[in-house]
Protein backbone atom coordinates (compact mmCIF):
# COMPACT_ATOMS: atom_id res chain seq x y z
CA UNK A 1 0.00 0.00 0.00
CA UNK A 2 1.15 3.53 -0.77
CA UNK A 3 0.03 6.65 1.05
CA UNK A 4 0.16 10.13 -0.39
CA UNK A 5 -0.16 13.09 1.92
CA UNK A 6 -1.20 16.03 -0.25
CA UNK A 7 -0.45 19.44 1.22
CA UNK A 8 -1.85 22.57 -0.38
CA UNK A 9 0.80 25.29 -0.44
CA UNK A 10 0.68 28.36 1.80
CA UNK A 11 -1.70 31.15 0.78
CA UNK A 12 -0.85 33.67 -1.92
CA UNK A 13 -3.70 36.04 -0.93
CA UNK A 14 -4.50 36.56 -4.61
CA UNK A 15 -8.18 37.06 -5.38
CA UNK A 16 -7.76 35.97 -8.99
CA UNK A 17 -7.21 32.70 -10.85
CA UNK A 18 -3.62 31.71 -10.15
CA UNK A 19 -2.32 28.83 -12.18
CA UNK A 20 1.21 28.92 -13.56
CA UNK A 21 2.07 32.41 -12.29
CA UNK A 22 4.85 32.07 -9.77
CA UNK A 23 3.40 33.93 -6.79
CA UNK A 24 5.07 33.44 -3.39
CA UNK A 25 3.37 31.72 -0.47
CA UNK A 26 2.74 33.41 2.85
CA UNK A 27 4.43 31.06 5.32
CA UNK A 28 3.99 33.27 8.38
CA UNK A 29 1.76 30.68 10.13
CA UNK A 30 4.74 28.84 11.55
CA UNK A 31 2.58 27.08 14.15
CA UNK A 32 0.47 25.45 11.42
CA UNK A 33 3.58 24.49 9.46
CA UNK A 34 5.02 22.86 12.60
CA UNK A 35 1.77 20.93 13.22
CA UNK A 36 1.81 19.66 9.64
CA UNK A 37 5.47 18.65 9.87
CA UNK A 38 4.78 16.67 13.08
CA UNK A 39 1.64 15.08 11.62
CA UNK A 40 3.40 13.62 8.58
CA UNK A 41 5.29 10.30 8.57
CA UNK A 42 8.95 10.81 9.42
CA UNK A 43 10.26 8.48 6.69
CA UNK A 44 8.13 9.88 3.86
CA UNK A 45 9.61 11.27 0.66
CA UNK A 46 8.80 14.89 -0.18
CA UNK A 47 7.99 16.17 -3.66
CA UNK A 48 6.46 19.43 -4.83
CA UNK A 49 5.35 21.38 -7.83
CA UNK A 50 8.15 23.51 -9.27
CA UNK A 51 6.27 26.76 -8.53
CA UNK A 52 7.83 28.69 -5.64
CA UNK A 53 4.68 28.70 -3.47
CA UNK A 54 4.81 24.89 -3.40
CA UNK A 55 8.61 24.62 -3.20
CA UNK A 56 8.91 26.92 -0.17
CA UNK A 57 5.98 25.22 1.58
CA UNK A 58 7.58 21.81 1.00
CA UNK A 59 10.90 23.09 2.31
CA UNK A 60 9.14 24.46 5.42
CA UNK A 61 7.58 21.07 6.32
CA UNK A 62 10.22 18.65 5.03
CA UNK A 63 12.28 18.42 8.20
CA UNK A 64 14.87 15.65 7.79
CA UNK A 65 12.84 13.81 5.14
CA UNK A 66 14.36 13.00 1.75
CA UNK A 67 13.45 15.65 -0.84
CA UNK A 68 12.73 14.51 -4.40
CA UNK A 69 13.24 16.92 -7.32
CA UNK A 70 10.42 19.40 -8.00
CA UNK A 71 7.96 18.17 -10.61
CA UNK A 72 6.54 20.53 -13.23
CA UNK A 73 3.65 18.10 -13.76
CA UNK A 74 2.37 18.92 -10.27
CA UNK A 75 1.70 22.55 -11.24
CA UNK A 76 -1.75 24.06 -10.88
CA UNK A 77 -4.09 24.17 -13.85
CA UNK A 78 -2.88 26.48 -16.61
CA UNK A 79 -5.56 29.19 -16.94
CA UNK A 80 -4.09 30.66 -20.14
CA UNK A 81 -5.68 34.03 -20.98
CA UNK A 82 -7.67 33.92 -17.73
CA UNK A 83 -4.50 33.82 -15.60
CA UNK A 84 -4.52 36.39 -12.78
CA UNK A 85 -8.01 37.56 -13.73
CA UNK A 86 -11.00 37.67 -11.42
CA UNK A 87 -13.95 35.63 -12.69
CA UNK A 88 -15.84 38.87 -13.37
CA UNK A 89 -13.04 40.07 -15.69
CA UNK A 90 -13.42 37.23 -18.18
CA UNK A 91 -14.97 38.62 -21.35
CA UNK A 92 -16.72 35.44 -22.51
CA UNK A 93 -18.81 34.60 -19.44
CA UNK A 94 -20.64 31.79 -21.27
CA UNK A 95 -17.31 30.07 -21.94
CA UNK A 96 -16.25 30.53 -18.31
CA UNK A 97 -19.57 29.15 -17.05
CA UNK A 98 -19.23 26.06 -19.27
CA UNK A 99 -15.64 25.57 -18.05
CA UNK A 100 -16.67 25.57 -14.37
CA UNK A 101 -20.07 23.88 -14.68
CA UNK A 102 -19.03 21.13 -17.08
CA UNK A 103 -15.34 20.51 -16.40
CA UNK A 104 -13.75 18.03 -18.73
CA UNK A 105 -12.48 18.98 -22.18
CA UNK A 106 -13.37 22.69 -22.10
CA UNK A 107 -10.27 24.85 -21.66
CA UNK A 108 -9.63 28.53 -21.10
CA UNK A 109 -8.17 30.23 -24.18
CA UNK A 110 -4.47 29.29 -24.22
CA UNK A 111 -4.90 27.10 -21.12
CA UNK A 112 -5.65 23.49 -20.32
CA UNK A 113 -8.77 21.50 -19.59
CA UNK A 114 -9.61 19.58 -16.43
CA UNK A 115 -8.96 16.30 -18.24
CA UNK A 116 -5.52 17.52 -19.35
CA UNK A 117 -4.61 18.54 -15.79
CA UNK A 118 -5.78 15.17 -14.49
CA UNK A 119 -3.70 13.27 -17.06
CA UNK A 120 -0.63 15.38 -16.28
CA UNK A 121 -0.92 14.83 -12.52
CA UNK A 122 -1.70 11.13 -12.94
CA UNK A 123 1.50 10.75 -14.98
CA UNK A 124 3.58 12.43 -12.27
CA UNK A 125 2.09 10.35 -9.45
CA UNK A 126 2.39 7.11 -11.39
CA UNK A 127 6.08 7.83 -11.98
CA UNK A 128 6.72 8.60 -8.28
CA UNK A 129 4.90 5.45 -7.13
CA UNK A 130 6.73 3.31 -9.70
CA UNK A 131 10.11 4.74 -8.67
CA UNK A 132 9.34 4.38 -4.94
CA UNK A 133 6.96 1.43 -4.47
CA UNK A 134 5.30 1.25 -1.07
CA UNK A 135 6.81 4.54 0.09
CA UNK A 136 4.87 7.23 1.89
CA UNK A 137 4.86 10.38 -0.24
CA UNK A 138 4.31 13.97 0.85
CA UNK A 139 3.27 15.96 -2.21
CA UNK A 140 3.00 19.74 -1.91
CA UNK A 141 0.88 21.11 -4.69
CA UNK A 142 -2.17 23.17 -5.58
CA UNK A 143 -5.95 23.20 -5.22
CA UNK A 144 -6.75 21.78 -8.67
CA UNK A 145 -3.99 19.19 -8.53
CA UNK A 146 -5.24 17.82 -5.22
CA UNK A 147 -8.84 17.80 -6.47
CA UNK A 148 -7.86 15.64 -9.47
CA UNK A 149 -6.63 12.98 -7.08
CA UNK A 150 -9.49 13.35 -4.61
CA UNK A 151 -11.90 12.94 -7.53
CA UNK A 152 -10.43 9.50 -8.24
CA UNK A 153 -10.32 8.41 -4.61
CA UNK A 154 -13.95 9.39 -3.96
CA UNK A 155 -15.06 8.26 -7.45
CA UNK A 156 -16.66 11.60 -8.26
CA UNK A 157 -17.24 13.38 -11.51
CA UNK A 158 -15.24 16.56 -12.06
CA UNK A 159 -18.14 18.86 -11.15
CA UNK A 160 -18.60 17.06 -7.82
CA UNK A 161 -14.86 17.26 -7.17
CA UNK A 162 -14.95 21.05 -7.62
CA UNK A 163 -17.47 21.26 -4.78
CA UNK A 164 -14.82 20.15 -2.27
CA UNK A 165 -12.83 22.64 -0.28
CA UNK A 166 -9.06 22.27 -0.03
CA UNK A 167 -7.67 24.99 2.24
CA UNK A 168 -4.15 26.30 2.10
CA UNK A 169 -1.89 24.34 4.49
CA UNK A 170 -4.37 21.47 4.76
CA UNK A 171 -3.60 17.74 4.47
CA UNK A 172 -5.43 15.33 2.17
CA UNK A 173 -4.40 11.74 2.80
CA UNK A 174 -5.00 9.18 0.06
CA UNK A 175 -4.18 5.47 0.23
CA UNK A 176 -3.57 3.26 -2.78
CA UNK A 177 -3.93 -0.51 -2.72
CA UNK A 178 -3.48 -2.10 -6.14
CA UNK A 179 -5.21 0.16 -8.63
CA UNK A 180 -7.76 1.63 -6.24
CA UNK A 181 -7.51 4.78 -4.18
CA UNK A 182 -9.17 5.53 -0.86
CA UNK A 183 -9.48 8.95 0.80
CA UNK A 184 -8.51 8.57 4.43
CA UNK A 185 -9.30 12.24 5.03
CA UNK A 186 -9.24 15.50 3.12
CA UNK A 187 -8.89 19.17 3.93
CA UNK A 188 -7.58 18.12 7.35
CA UNK A 189 -5.96 20.68 9.65
CA UNK A 190 -3.63 18.93 12.09
Q: Across the beta sheet with 136-141, what order do the strands follow?
A: 45-48, 136-141, 2-8, 171-177, 180-188
pTM of the model: 0.96
Q: What is the pLDDT of residue 105?
A: 95
Bridge partners of 45? 137
Catalogue all structural domains in the chain, each as residue range(s) with its CATH number: 2-188 (3.40.50.1240)
Report the C-alpha gap between 71 and 25 in whole angstroms: 18
- Which of 10, 4, 129 has the alpha carbon at shortest distance from 58? 10
Q: What is the pLDDT of residue 127?
A: 97
77-127 pLDDT, tens per residue? 999 999 999 999 999 999 999 999 999 999 999 999 999 999 999 999 999
Q: What is the pLDDT of residue 145?
A: 98
* pLDDT greater than 90 at residue 1: no
* pLDDT greater than 90 at residue 48: yes
Q: How far apart are the first and last CA of the chain?
A: 23
Amino acid sequence: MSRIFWIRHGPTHAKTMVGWSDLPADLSDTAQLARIERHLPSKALVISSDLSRAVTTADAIAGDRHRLPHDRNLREMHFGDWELKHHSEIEDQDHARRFWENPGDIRPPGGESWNEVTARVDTAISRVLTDHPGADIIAVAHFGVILTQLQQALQLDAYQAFAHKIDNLSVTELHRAGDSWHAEHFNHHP
